[in-house]
A and B are shown apart, each in its own frame.
Chain A
Amino acid sequence: MTVLSSHDFWAVAPEIYVATLACVILVVDLYVRSVRPCAAAYPLTIATLVSAGFLCLDGLFEPTQTVLNGLVVRDSVSAILKSGTCFGTAAVLFYARDYAAARGLWRGEYLVLTLFGVVGMMAMIGAAHLLTLYVGIELLALCLYGMIAMERDSVRAAEAAMKYFILGALASGVLLYGMSLLYGLTGSLSLQAVSGAAGTLEVNSLPLMLAISMLVVGLLFKLGAVPFHMWVPDVYDGSATSTTLYLSAVPKLAAFAILLRLLSTGLEEWIAIWQDMLLVAALASIALGNVVAIAQSNIKRMLAYSTISNMGFLLLGFFAGTHAGYSAAMVYAVIYMVTTVAAFGVILALSRSGFESNSLDDFKGLNRRNPWLALLMLIVMFSLAGIPPTAGFFAKLMVLQAALDAGFVTVVVAAVILAVIGAFYYLRIVKLMYFDEVEEGVLTISAHGYRRSMKWVLTVNAIGLIAVTPWIGKVMDFIGRSLMEFGVS
């Protein structure tokens, strides 16, 4: 109980590694003085994230082991998701760099908070215990509050941070209450033990239903699923775009992980209780996200509603409680992250110092101004809309397939019809870029003022969404294999 054995140490080495280096970077940044902000901290952070990304992959496809007295689980799922989190965050920082620098956000603290956020996500991903889960969630959330609030001159950012903080705290309270109830009922916070206690509890008991309901509500809140989605558009819109990129894309992998850990490992025996809640939340998210997105004139708000509907699809993979559904949801989360990073990457490439490319109208005539960027955005939009041959289509296909597999034909038909509504607002971006012309006399910002290296990374990121098509089966197998040994019947 007292000593950290080497076995335990290696299992959580990536977390320790990132946390330690985050502290180092914090100190280094104070001592290195340079004209350019973060001259030392930025390369160090990227190096940390990339090396941690590879470090996490160590132990992939090895048998599952629970370490640190049952606090942390180390399996293939966590290896892939942690690695994805590290690489995704590296890409986010790469895109965010110039934008954040132009707004005075590019400081050592920003990078350190990002890194601690990554540690939080890694804790969520590897959680085998409700306590680890909660600590991870809170660590990430606190970093995000700080990152949003760092844009001190912006009233909107302060408002967003405040809103996010208060609502986030409320959600945490609900989640904690649920956990404490569960502890009272089962006598343990370990997910395995909770699951093991299933036989001793009556399914229809009110305290159990209350506990599970509170857990699910807390999770839906963190995910931003309807009806707990109100904070999403405001926070997305109010934050600096570089922060929005971070908080909208990468944590979805961790969100998937906590759903998997909690619902599948911990509460699978009580699927009857949470299944309907998840189903309603999923369909309501898809419906509301897609319908309300149509009315947005701000691309960040639009993408916020798009996230809500995408979370709906993620939940759709989950609610059936089948192995196929979990692996569909995992593929969905990964593809969603890559697509969202690319979408915000284009927005960041278009933004200049003193100019936010937030309004949909800023995309007008982009094809005329910068055809390459327009083409990349076109691919990203079609991927978000789920039109083949993009990766987004295969993600949706897997989810629908899994739901149909579980016998929910009506649900699938409903989701499909709502997806058509969703296609409209992605098409509108394409329409603005390709069909509309820039109005004469309106000053438009050059669409070429971004780094050349950013162009290449963006190209790989967006073209990859189509280029992966011939090998999409391999990607699915890779992810499916990691879930294979996951303790799902």
Chain B
Amino acid sequence: MNLFNEHLLSLLIWFPVVGGILVLATGGDRRAMTARWLALGVAVITFALSVPLWTGFNRSTADMQFVERSPWIERFHIEYFLGVDGISVPLVLLTTILTIVVVVAGWKVIQTRVAQYFAAFLIMEGLMIGVFCALDGILFYLFWEAMLIPMFLIVGVWGGPNRVYAAIKFFLYTLLGSLLMLVALLYLYQASEGSFDLLAFHHLPLTGGVQTLIFLAFFAAFAVKIPMVPVHTWLPDAHVEAPTGGSVILAAITLKMGAYGFLRIAMPIAPDAAQQFAPLVIGLSLLAVVYIALIALIQQDMKKLIAYSSISHMGFVTLGFFVFETRAMEGAIVQMISHGFVSGALFLCVGVLYDRLHSREIATYGGVMKVMPVFAFFMVFFAMANAGLPGTSGFVGEFLVILGTFSVNAWYAAIAALTLIVGAAYTLWMVKRVVFGEVKNPKVSELKDLDRREFGVLLGMALGVLIIGIWPAPLLDVMRVSVDQLLTHLSVSKL
């Protein structure tokens, strides 16, 4: 058992990667069923492996746990250094859960190059877990970048009509940001006299000017990923063109990698610059929260609407980080998890409709409730969660962020709270036009309600949303000590 715990993180990273390669080896579409079941098996086992991470996690310490550390490239003191704290554990679990969801959701929809599709998701799962566990700068960068390759293929191969443009835009945007991060990491290597240890970077004294540059370089990488205004334009394209599974993973996990990067890297390494740039980041966050929400209001395409809504919700997350307040930061992390479930589920809902009518236009639908009552229930439920209805996970995160922000600056909180109104407006308006009303399109009247597979997937997501919404205490417990420690660290100037 001890050996198992010592290598749990490696197992979580490499098991899905190896599983993905095995799925790939099943070959052509003749053996599609084998590929599907194998992929599901790998995803479920990976999830099962991640459970001990949750149960065996010591909630009373902010130290890294399940640490693995061995030299890798000794010449540059690059290490194979993994570990998790209270901030990364929920994200790892979110990844393993959503991968199962994505595999099941793609079961029937994907009929071409099935093995490659599932393999890409499994390999990506391993790489994303790697991002959340890596404590060595180069290792982190490796996972961060490598993850682009499967995502690029997923959008480009199985995506919509404009997929090529979206895939390349996605790749190049992220690459530019990431390479600047690489330069910053290399600089820190010099400054620390030969180490890529991220935790050691946290305690590295840096002058104000250097911190500013380092912070901006990391900011470029993470802001693109989150994405923040004004570098958000890749997201609507990528989301709209990606297949349902790709959209789910993009929204639910990839965006969180950017936010996680702020917590693990940018803020603790350059705390003074983080304080200095806080007004800017908060300003951009509020801009995202309000302005992007208004843009979401006018979307005709459901996926685009949810994509803009994602940007808006991620604005909440960055707002929560940069007010430097315990409740706000905890709320922001809850919001990350919650948004993973809610936006993922909404993309699944759109996927359900798209599989049937091959249209994402809001105008195509109307009166879906009359023919698909069960589906309508879920769609309304997730829309409510997206709008932050109390009792759902969306409420917990947003409420905590606003509460925390209020104690720092009432104006910020007031502006952020506006989104609860606009957010409710765009989501509910979309639901009204899609789910309710009269059936105008004859094709809609022929729609079939959810099958068992779709029902199961959406039910699982709904349970996730409800559990976090009603009883967020376990989630908050896991992260509390780590968040406190991070805030204490941030409050000490490095100058």
A387-B149, A389-B142, A435-B156 known; A473 and B179 CB under 8 Å? no
Closest 4 interchain pairs by CB?
Answer: A473-B73, A388-B142, A435-B156, A416-B179
**Beta-carbon contacts under 8 Å, B39-88 to A:** 71-76, 78
B78 closest partner in A (C-beta): A473
Residues of B within 8 A of A480 (CB): 75
In the complex, whether A423 has a CB less than 8 A from a CB of chain B is yes
A476 closest partner in B (C-beta): B75
Residue pair A404, B75 in contact (C-beta under 8 Å): no
In the complex, whether B187 has a CB less than 8 A from a CB of chain A is yes
Residue pair B75, A473 in contact (C-beta under 8 Å): yes
What separation, in Å, do the CA atoms of A470 and B10 have in the docked complex? 13
Residue pair A420, B172 in contact (C-beta under 8 Å): yes
Residue pair A387, B75 in contact (C-beta under 8 Å): no
B77 closest partner in A (C-beta): A473
Residues of A within 8 A of B74 (CB): 473, 477
Residue pair B168, A427 in contact (C-beta under 8 Å): yes
In the complex, whether A401 has a CB less than 8 A from a CB of chain B is yes
In the complex, whether A409 has a CB less than 8 A from a CB of chain B is yes
Residues of B within 8 A of A388 (CB): 141-142, 145-146
In the complex, whether A16 has a CB less than 8 A from a CB of chain B is no
In the complex, whether B239 has a CB less than 8 A from a CB of chain A is no
A401-B76, A423-B172, A480-B75 known; A371 and B116 CB under 8 Å? yes
Residues of A within 8 A of B378 (CB): none
In the complex, whether A206 has a CB less than 8 A from a CB of chain B is no
**Beta-carbon contacts under 8 Å, A354-400 to B:** 367, 371, 378, 382, 387-389, 393-394, 397, 400
Q: Given contacts A388-B146, A416-B179, A420-B172, list 18 more A-B pairs with CB under 8 A.
A: A371-B116, A387-B146, A387-B148, A388-B142, A393-B145, A394-B73, A397-B182, A400-B182, A401-B186, A409-B183, A423-B171, A424-B172, A430-B156, A435-B156, A435-B164, A436-B164, A473-B75, A480-B75
In the complex, whether B163 has a CB less than 8 A from a CB of chain A is yes
What separation, in Å, do the CA atoms of A423 and B149 have in the docked complex? 12
Chain A nearest CB from B176 CB (Å) reads: 5
What separation, in Å, do the CA atoms of A141 and B139 have in the docked complex? 42
Residues of A within 8 A of B141 (CB): 388
Residues of B within 8 A of A401 (CB): 76, 186, 189
In the complex, whether B180 has a CB less than 8 A from a CB of chain A is yes
Chain A nearest CB from B24 CB (Å) reads: 8
**Beta-carbon contacts under 8 Å, B131-190 to A:** 138, 141-142, 145-146, 148-149, 152-153, 156-157, 163-164, 167-168, 171-172, 175-176, 179-180, 182-183, 186-187, 189-190
Residue pair A420, B176 in contact (C-beta under 8 Å): yes
Encoded as 1 (CB less than 8 Å from any B CB) or 0, chain A from 432 to 445 comes to 00111000000000
Residue pair B186, A477 in contact (C-beta under 8 Å): no
In the complex, whether A152 has a CB less than 8 A from a CB of chain B is no
Residues of A within 8 A of B264 (CB): none
Residue pair B175, A420 in contact (C-beta under 8 Å): yes
In the complex, whether B113 has a CB less than 8 A from a CB of chain A is yes
What separation, in Å, do the CA atoms of A424 and B78 have in the docked complex? 29
On chain A, the number of residues with a Cβ less than 8 Å from chain B's Cβ atoms is 36
Residue pair A416, B183 in contact (C-beta under 8 Å): yes
What separation, in Å, do the CA atoms of A430 and B179 have in the docked complex? 20
Q: Report 12 cross-chain contacts, Cβ distance below 8 Å, ordered by A residue.
A: A378-B149, A387-B175, A388-B146, A405-B190, A409-B183, A420-B172, A420-B175, A428-B168, A435-B167, A473-B71, A473-B72, A473-B74
Residues of B within 8 A of A257 (CB): none
Residue pair B145, A387 in contact (C-beta under 8 Å): yes
What separation, in Å, do the CA atoms of A409 and B189 have in the docked complex? 13
Residue pair B73, A472 in contact (C-beta under 8 Å): yes
Residue pair A434, B182 in contact (C-beta under 8 Å): no
What separation, in Å, do the CA atoms of A473 and B175 have in the docked complex? 24
Residues of A within 8 A of B142 (CB): 388-389, 393
What separation, in Å, do the CA atoms of A394 and B182 have in the docked complex? 12
Chain A nearest CB from B319 CB (Å) reads: 29
What separation, in Å, do the CA atoms of A481 and B189 have in the docked complex? 21
A421 closest partner in B (C-beta): B172
What separation, in Å, do the CA atoms of A196 and B228 have in the docked complex? 58
A331 closest partner in B (C-beta): B75
Chain B nearest CB from A304 CB (Å) reads: 23
Residues of B within 8 A of A367 (CB): 113, 116, 157
What separation, in Å, do the CA atoms of A228 and B156 have in the docked complex? 38
In the complex, whether A103 has a CB less than 8 A from a CB of chain B is no
Residues of B within 8 A of A393 (CB): 142, 145
Residues of B within 8 A of A33 (CB): none
Residue pair B146, A423 in contact (C-beta under 8 Å): no
Residues of B within 8 A of A371 (CB): 27-28, 116
Chain A nearest CB from B184 CB (Å) reads: 10
Chain B nearest CB from A431 CB (Å) reads: 6
Residues of B within 8 A of A430 (CB): 152-153, 156
Residue pair A427, B152 in contact (C-beta under 8 Å): yes
What separation, in Å, do the CA atoms of A423 and B168 have in the docked complex? 10
What separation, in Å, do the CA atoms of A427 and B145 have in the docked complex? 14
Residue pair A435, B157 in contact (C-beta under 8 Å): yes
What separation, in Å, do the CA atoms of A473 and B196 have in the docked complex? 14
B159 closest partner in A (C-beta): A435
What separation, in Å, do the CA atoms of A367 and B72 have in the docked complex? 34
A394 closest partner in B (C-beta): B73
**Beta-carbon contacts under 8 Å, B94-149 to A:** 113, 116, 138, 141-142, 145-146, 148-149
Residues of B within 8 A of A424 (CB): 168, 172
Residue pair B179, A417 in contact (C-beta under 8 Å): yes
What separation, in Å, do the CA atoms of A412 and B187 have in the docked complex? 10
In the complex, whether A211 has a CB less than 8 A from a CB of chain B is no
Chain A nearest CB from B197 CB (Å) reads: 16
What separation, in Å, do the CA atoms of A393 and B178 have in the docked complex? 13
What separation, in Å, do the CA atoms of A412 and B142 have in the docked complex? 19
Residue pair B176, A400 in contact (C-beta under 8 Å): no
A417-B176, A417-B179, A473-B78 known; A431 and B156 CB under 8 Å? yes
Chain A nearest CB from B484 CB (Å) reads: 34
In the complex, whether A419 has a CB less than 8 A from a CB of chain B is yes
What separation, in Å, do the CA atoms of A414 and B189 have in the docked complex? 19
Chain B nearest CB from A485 CB (Å) reads: 16
**Beta-carbon contacts under 8 Å, A435-489 to B:** 435-436, 470, 472-473, 476-477, 480
What separation, in Å, do the CA atoms of A152 and B78 have in the docked complex? 52
What separation, in Å, do the CA atoms of A430 and B150 have in the docked complex? 12
Chain A nearest CB from B396 CB (Å) reads: 36
Task: Identify which of A419, A423, A477 gathers the most chain B CB atoms within 10 Å of its CB.
Answer: A423
